[in-house]
């Protein structure tokens, strides 16, 4: 099976379990959105709270730590066109940066597994790359439904 995630470690140790979870979830995202036949991939960086705080400050002018950041490289309309035309170039859909320490903290806080929280960060980041957002309630409903659909199809429930 083609892997749609390129995983980078930034100041944390490599971890095969993280990679297995990320690949499983991202591949399901691509399949769900009918993109698994495309040569697109996502760069996912796993990092520390301090590193993600710096990125958040530099790119969003928010001087605080966060759990996940997404940096899309295409507009939603462009991605829709890729799907429709079977875009055949190898290209990066965008970058997702995840704070592994924050994933651990939130898994404990929400009383579910680390795997579930990491999976959610991946799905959430993916849909931001796809052009979805959760600022307005109606947009949030659409994005959450898509996220839940992917997680439920993998048997990863809240």
Tell me whether residue 113 is in a domain: yes
How many C-beta atoms surround the C-beta of residue 51 within 10 A?
A: 17
Res 33: pLDDT: 97
158 is a domain residue = no
> Which pLDDT score, from 0 to 100, does residue 111 have?
94
- The helix or strand, by DSSP H or E, that contains position 30, with its residue range, turns out to be helix 16-32
| Structural domain includes residue 136 | yes
Instruction: State which residues form the domain around 66.
Output: 5-153
Establish if 11 belongs to a structural domain.
yes
Within-domain flag for 78: yes
Task: Give tens-digit pLDDT for 4-26.
Answer: 999 999 999 999 999 999 999 99
Residue 37 backbone phi and psi in degrees, to 5: -85, -15
The answer for residues whose C-beta is within 8 angstroms of residue 40's C-beta and 6 or more apart is: 4, 30, 82, 87, 90, 91, 92, 93
Residue 57 confidence (pLDDT) above 80:
yes
pLDDT in tens, 110-127: 999 999 999 999 999 999
Asked whether residue 62 is assigned to any structural domain, the reply reads yes
Residue 98 phi, psi (nearest 5):
-125, 130
pLDDT of 1 > 70? The answer is: no
CATH number at residue 121: 3.40.390.30
User: DSSP string spanning 50-100?
Assistant: HHHHHHHHHHH---S--SEEEEESS-HHHHHHHHHHT--S-EEEEEEEEEH
d(Cα 128, Cα 139) in Å, to the nearest integer? Answer: 11
Is 122 a member of any domain?
A: yes
What is the C-alpha to C-alpha distance for residues 52 and 34, in angstroms, rounded to an integer? Answer: 31
Number of domains comprising the chain: 1
Residue 98 lies in a domain: yes
């Amino acid at each position: 099976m083609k892997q749609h995630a390129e995983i980078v470690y930034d100041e944390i140790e490599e971890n095969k379990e993280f990679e297995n979870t990320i690949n499983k979830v991202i591949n399901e995202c691509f399949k769900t959105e009918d993109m698994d036949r495309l040569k697109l991939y996502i760069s996912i960086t796993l990092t520390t709270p301090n590193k993600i705080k710096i990125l958040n400050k530099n790119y969003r002018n928010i001087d605080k730590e966060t759990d996940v950041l997404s940096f899309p490289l295409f507009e939603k309309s462009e991605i829709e066109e890729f799907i429709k035309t079977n875009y055949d170039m190898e290209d990066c859909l965008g970058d997702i940066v995840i704070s592994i320490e924050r994933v651990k903290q939130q898994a404990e806080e929400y009383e579910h597994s680390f795997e579930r929280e990491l999976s959610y960060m991946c799905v959430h980041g993916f849909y931001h790359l796809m052009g979805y957002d959760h600022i307005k309630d109606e947009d949030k409903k659409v994005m959450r439904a898509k996220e839940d659909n992917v997680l439920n199809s993998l048997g990863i429930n809240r």
